[in-house]
Chains A and B, each alone.
Chain A
Amino acid sequence: MKWLDTWTESSARAMAKRTSRRSLLASLGALLVGASALPLLPVARGAETPKGAGGKPGQPAGINDPTSCDYWRHCAIDGYLCGCCGGSQSACPPGTEMSAVTWVGTCHNPLEGKDYVVSYNDCCGKTSCGRCFCNRNERDTPLYIPFQSNDYNWCSGSSKANVPYHCSTARIVSVAR
């Protein structure tokens, strides 16, 4: 599967960069290729996310809070936020395993005005964390376009901990140029 993982991530990054150039209107960019987070409840965006560090006037209060659904990196995330589960926005909680295949999005960081390629690796191998659920559907597609669909559990196949989903990270992969 290594070749597939490598191919997926490199393709996703390339696509995300192309997209970020095209979609200047998207203040919170979008994902383009790649795989995401998990089964996700369809609505309730940030239903139980705590209020966090504020942004500038006009920006959501949680724009710079990794435990908030409004965190800038979460523009295309779908699942429980690992920052609320003993991990962080870029690391899995203890005892879980990070999925290799990911959904990659392009998010705009309004604090410094740059776009970043963000990889939403799931953390796998334990039951659902259940904290800080967040679902943002920018450019989500149906299941028949898998690498743009956030309705799959991306712990599938790509992990030794095959399938049990715990939470989702939002790793910066690169600056989108």
Chain B
Amino acid sequence: MNSPPRNTAPRALSGGAFRWLSAARLRAAAAFALGCALAAWPGQKAGAELPNDPMASVQSLPATASPHWMWVNDIVFSHMASGKAMLVDGDSGHFLGELDVGFGSMRVVPALDGKVIFSPETYFSRGTRGDRTDVVTLYDPMHLAPIGEIVIPPKRSSNMPMMANTELTDDGRFLLIYNFTPAQSVTVVDTRSRTFVGEVQTAGCALVYPTGPRSFFSVCADGTLLDVRLDDTGRATNGQRTSRMFDVQRDPVTEKAVRVRDTWYFVSFDGTIYPVNINKAALTLGPTWSLLSAADKAQKWRPGGLQQLAAHAGLNRLYSIMHQGPLETHKDPGKEVWVYDLARRARIQRIAMKNESGSIQVTRDAHPLLFSAFIESTILDVYNAASGAYLRSINDIGTTPTVLVNP
């Protein structure tokens, strides 16, 4: 390969007012500037030279994720073919890298052992047109690069992203993906053999909420749950409707439930908690309770947001984004997060948020962080989840951040 021509810039600037900028003067000025910089650099001895940087250097991540990292999923609403998921470090505030996850991205699903990341994705052969292909892409968590894919039926639901769009069974063996064409079903993928297993028909029922290593439920339009049991190959062996759990006409629950051990906590538009208990024989509804006191209701406080609830099993706490507004503001963000002791069903804290919050997530460790984002902002805020203290903001996170996922 030929060497690049030397002194190109001085020749280009050789006329008019730039005549005094000769190559010799430029070299002298550059040497002086470099000398000043080295002199000011801590630990650098005068006269020492910086080593050349290597070519083709690419960062990688540690084999084990920090418990304080967080995946920020982004549907990129104004350019939906360019969905992405961004990994950030809540301790340092550093942006660690991202995955490009295709059209209408819902969320990534890290494997339980942390050795692979699953991402249900949709692509078209000509950008936004042509043949549609849906896949589960497998990513290497150290290099954030694709290492394989599993083709699935092109039925993946396109909707506002929810955690319940896709989940793993409790043992991590099967990946469950909600379909909407508008016929409803759930795609089952075997993560061990990395193959598509089949579909579970869920007519009248939506989304996936795991209840064990071989079971999940979907929420049905009449307020019942579809309790699905799988065999060891991932095929459905049973699917029965429960009795009615929710009054979907009077006060519907949102889809944004969170799980603590063997209980899924759903919240209604009016702030009533509906605990769905996982028992071996059946799903049962526990005692309902309200996030709101009479005084709160009088002041029109209400839960809202896209990912409006979070929980920490160790602390046994539930976190809820709250705002003041009328009934049809159930998707609105809030400037407060209220914290509840699940054992006492009592509010123990109100966290005043630095910015509007529409999505929250809490890390799983013993010193948890609370992350907060809002789809109409690109600021990710980090709090101490135990004390509620604001820690830091991380700016320029994507375009329309949606669902926050622990690695």
Footprint of B on A, CB under 8 Å?
Answer: 4, 35, 38-44, 47, 101, 125-128, 130, 135, 137-146, 151-153, 155-158, 161-165
Contact = CB atoms under 8 A, between A and B. Distances in A.
A54 to B, nearest CB: 25
Contacts of B182: 4, 35, 101, 146, 152, 156-158
A161 B124 CA distance: 10
A157 to B, nearest CB: 4
A151 B160 contact: yes
A165 B207 contact: no
Given A39-B80, A142-B206, 9 more contacts: A143-B157, A143-B159, A143-B207, A144-B205, A145-B221, A153-B158, A156-B158, A156-B182, A163-B132
Interface string B105-139: 00000000000000000101000110010000000
Interface in B243-276: 248, 252-255
Interface stretch (B3-11, B14-22, B329-337, B361-369): B329-337
Contacts of B252: 141-142, 145
B331 A43 contact: yes
Contact of B80 (A101, A135, A137, A165): A165
B322 to A, nearest CB: 15
Contacts of A153: 104, 158-159
B239 interface: no
B contacts with A: majority SS: loop
B80 A128 contact: yes
A177 B313 CA distance: 53
Contacts of A40: 160
A95 to B, nearest CB: 10
Interface residues on B, range: 35 or more
29 contacts: A39-B77, A39-B159, A39-B160, A43-B358, A43-B376, A101-B182, A127-B81, A127-B128, A140-B331, A141-B252, A142-B253, A143-B159, A143-B207, A144-B206, A146-B180, A151-B159, A152-B157, A152-B159, A155-B158, A156-B157, A156-B181, A156-B182, A158-B182, A162-B154, A163-B132, A164-B80, A164-B128, A164-B129, A165-B158
B221 A144 contact: yes
A146 B358 CA distance: 22
Contacts of B162: 143
B5 to A, nearest CB: 42
A135, A139, A163, A164: residue with the most chain B Cβ atoms closer than 10 Å: A163
Contacts of B124: 164
5 closest Cβ pairs, A-B complex: A42-B331, A157-B181, A153-B158, A144-B206, A151-B160
Given A137-B328, A142-B252, A146-B206, A42 B103 contact: no
B127 to A, nearest CB: 8
Contacts of B332: 42-43
A39 B221 contact: no
B236 to A, nearest CB: 19
B132 A162 contact: yes
B376 A146 contact: no
A2 to B, nearest CB: 14
Given A42-B160, A137-B331, A143 B181 contact: no
B200 interface: no
A143 B255 contact: yes
Nearest to A30: B328
Nearest to A35: B182
